[in-house]
Structure 1
């Protein structure tokens, strides 16, 4: 064998395609993606069963939610006061924060295997109690935690490698949760990391594809909301783009503004109330959700998937106020601090608002306007227009609406940023990071003889001015 060829093979074995270390990493990514896909499918099925359980209990009388929902909110608030504190909220801010802070104790606290398992269990408990929450954000958290734990278990615990496992797990989780592989990739680029490292591209794509194939193999080739054959011809009908973009942006930006913790104004007052009596405050939020549900024909409980699908397919009896009421119900669930995401509930709000806008445009295709409302509101909440556009297109298997949806999402993002300058997931992640840094400073001050170390509690995020750009 020529020396040059031998040297080339040696180089490939040590650092390139044939490297044993690289192959071990790839096998772990592929195995982890399969696990994330299976977990997402199991989570989706269990979420449906949990909410069906709530519906069965609620069917025994109008009074059942008055007892069940506030009690569930209070119990979840109490359970998440200690070791399961990281399970609160949607889970996407935790994954983003862990990606930004390359410290093992911080990442372990947010993404440990017990947190991933607890996230699934407590989110299911929230749906069993009728909370207005989704499972997609928690699936992202679970995916990040599973791949992170798997990488650490097999020796890939350096900060850079761990970050790649977190990113791939997050993207695979979203792809499997919605059965939308392309949305998983866009989400990783736009929302999670903000960049796309060249060396990471193949690994990330492979993980997303594998997780998507697992979901596809078990659940079949389906669209989340069914196949929606709607279009929006260029012309007067495009007024719907302007209206849904502005309405979705304003409503989405207001929602994000209200759920981001602050030390000032109305949110500061709510944060202090929650900080003093978190369990009682959570029960009050549950009661508010029940009272709001009495004003809606089908209630505001659960993910809102069924209502959004009915509105989108044109046979809904939710009533004209569903979008506004679901908006308020989502705020009540978010303020309670219980585990659960905002993706599916946001799509339900957007569908309701889109239906309202459609009544103002009798010449436009109602399904098309509702779809625009869903995408625009999701973009307004997350300020991630590409992710919102791709999710909306993949959820409905509709490519004819690509341009109007993208236009509405970009407009909604611009309008939302006026009300909420910092995207909601980034702001919540910053709050976690700031609380972590404050805790480190307190510990350093204690070591230096300047006092006792302070505790980093989730309530502090609502009281200590953790959001830098508020």
Structure 2
């Protein structure tokens, strides 16, 4: 008993432990505040875009190519390593031991650029999301707070990333699961309390400013009988195929041997971004303006049955998201993936009229997301929390696992981890190059 009492005193009255806890809690609050500001800025950008489209429906033919080209130029010139989702950068930073190498992927400068440039992309019509970028923002804030104070940086990056997801979607459980499944691929017990503290702090800020909202609203979707079970299999396999195809294309172009396209893209990145912007604008025109930006309102309208969208919405949103993702601008794929899944789900629901359409849409949303990110637990927990569809836990879980397995057949490497390996490889090449230069200078002086 005396030993236990002494141990408790060491834990509760240890200034170092409370300092660490304070960094995680304060960091969580700051991540939550950044996420709220990100939400408001993104909503303003999308509202402005809708206003422009109301009076000038063909404006994206100029606005989107010019906007994407400008965004890429600013990214490369002032905010390098802020491109894309941001999740691969956070994953890569966890595996880099050198402080300077991590700071090239996570910093307050990158966090600011990430928010500004993602908002710009949404304002000019790019098919991107803000949730993935919030992960890099959260990891950057936590990394900046703990820089020089922690020997182990992995817990900081993990906590910031998980808090970012929790605050962006208002899904605290999904934030925790994302941290375990996608960021760490294992649960680090010594950081568990700190990570939970950051998630709670970020969630409280989001709750205070945005209220206790459900991302897509409540849905009455359910699997009513054994006759509905084939829909789980159909959505799981089809969503996995389409999600795996999307990931395979991204990895092939961004880190793989993309042939002549890859060579031309690397030689003329700004022109390539403009072409991607033109393709994105054309998708928007063909879809009656529904494929621009995150796709949040479109996915919600499909799920609730409030409005009918063009039958080609799913495929055009997928093409627009692919173009927006490969051009190198900052922007995520979470929200667009959910919108794509909702679009394809509406197509499948038309073929299965005996089943509640919202059930099929929900199943396809989780299947496509799981197929893209290959994180099945995170996918079904996010969709469940975003729609408050707790009665669909088992069907969503089954569809997510089916999609994950199917996607792996088409794309063996998870997209975020494939991109993260590219960042790690580039960091090591840069370190080796600098070492060679240093050795050459020493050799020349001697």
The two structures have a TM-score, normalised by structure 1, of: 0.90
Alignment equivalent of 2:22, drawn from 27, 31, 39:
27
* Counterparts in 2 of 1:401 and 1:326: CA distance versus 1, 3 Å: same
Taking the aligned partners of 1:53 and 1:241, their CA distance within structure 2 comes to 38
Q: Can you list the C-alpha shifts for 1:58-79, whole angstroms capped at 9, x where unaligned?
A: 2222331111110000101111
Q: Distance in 2 between matches of 1:147 and 1:263?
A: 28
Q: 1:298 is matched with which residue?
A: 289
SS at match of 2:105: helix
In the TM superposition, what is the alpha-carbon distance from 1:197 to its structure 2 partner?
A: 1.2
Cα distance between partner residues in 1 of 2:436 and 2:25: 44
Alpha-carbon offset, residue 216 of structure 1: 1.2
1:222-371 equivalence runs, <5 A: 222-261=213-252, 267-371=258-362
Q: Paired residue for 2:409?
A: 418
Corresponding residue number in structure 2 for 1:156 = 149
Q: How does 1:40-439 map to 2 (within 5 A)?
A: 40-152=35-147, 155-158=148-151, 160=152, 162-261=153-252, 267-439=258-430
Q: Distance in 2 between the 1:271 and 1:189 partners?
A: 34
The change in CA–CA distance for 1:264 and 1:403 in structure 2 (over 3 A counts) is closer
How many Å separate the matches in 2 of 1:270 and 1:141? Answer: 28
Q: Which runs of 5+ in 2 are unaligned?
A: 442-446
Q: Provide Cα deviations, 1:323-375, integer angstroms capped at 9, x if missing partner.
A: 11100000010111100000000000000011111112111111010000100
Q: Distance in 2 between matches of 1:298 and 1:58?
A: 8
The structural deviation recorded for 1:440 is 2.2
Secondary structure of the residue aligned to 2:61 is: helix
Q: Kindly provide the CA deviation profile for residues 196-245 of structure 1, in whole angstroms up to 9, marking residues without a partner as x.
A: 11121111112111211211122111110000011012412111111111
Identify the range of structure 1 (436-445 vs 288-297) with the bigger mean alpha-carbon deviation: 436-445
Q: Take 2:158 and 2:125, find their aligned partners in 1: how far apart are those partners?
A: 31
Contact 2:29–2:202 (CA under 8 A) maintained in structure 1: yes
2:444 aligned partner = none
Kept in 1: contact 2:90–2:157 (CA 8 A): yes
The one-character-per-residue Cα deviations of 1:38-90 (angstroms, maximum 9, x if unpaired) are: 11111101100011111222222233111111000010111111341111000
Instruction: Compare 213-222 and 330-339 and name the one that shifted more.
Output: 213-222
Report the CA distance shift for 1:58/1:202 in structure 2 as closer, same or farther (over 3 A).
Answer: same
Query: In the TM superposition, what is the alpha-carbon distance from 1:261 to its structure 2 partner?
Result: 4.3
Partner Cα separation in structure 1 for residue 24 and residue 240 of structure 2: 37
What count of residue pairs does the alignment treat as equivalent? Answer: 441
1:239-277 Cα shifts (integer Å, max 9, x gaps): 111111111001000000111145998733332121111
- 1:317 Cα shift? 2.5
Report SS of the residue matched to 1:239: helix
Q: Take 1:156 and 1:49, find their aligned partners in 2: how far apart are those partners? A: 37
Contact 2:68–2:273 (CA<8 Å) still a contact in 1?
yes
Report the secondary structure of 2:30's partner residue: helix
Contact preservation (8 Å) 1:297, 1:317: no
CA shift in 2, pair 1:26/1:58, >3 Å: same
RMSD: 1.7
Separation (CA, whole Å) in 2 of partners of 1:262 and 1:215 = 36
What is the deviation of 1:168? Answer: 0.3
Q: Deviations over 1:386-410 (max 9, x none)?
A: 0000000000011111101000000
CA distance, structure 2, for counterparts of residue 10 and residue 150 of structure 1: 31
Structure 2 counterparts to residues 430-449 of structure 1, below 5 A: 430-449=421-440
Q: For residues 179 and 215 of structure 1, what CA distance do their matches in structure 2 show?
A: 7
Instruction: Please say if residues 92 and 140 of structure 1, whose CA atoms lie closer than 8 Å, have aligned partners that are also in contact.
Output: yes
Query: Aligned partners of 1:325 and 1:203: how far apart in 2?
Result: 42
Farther off after superposition, 337-346 or 357-366: 357-366
TM-score by length of 2: 0.95
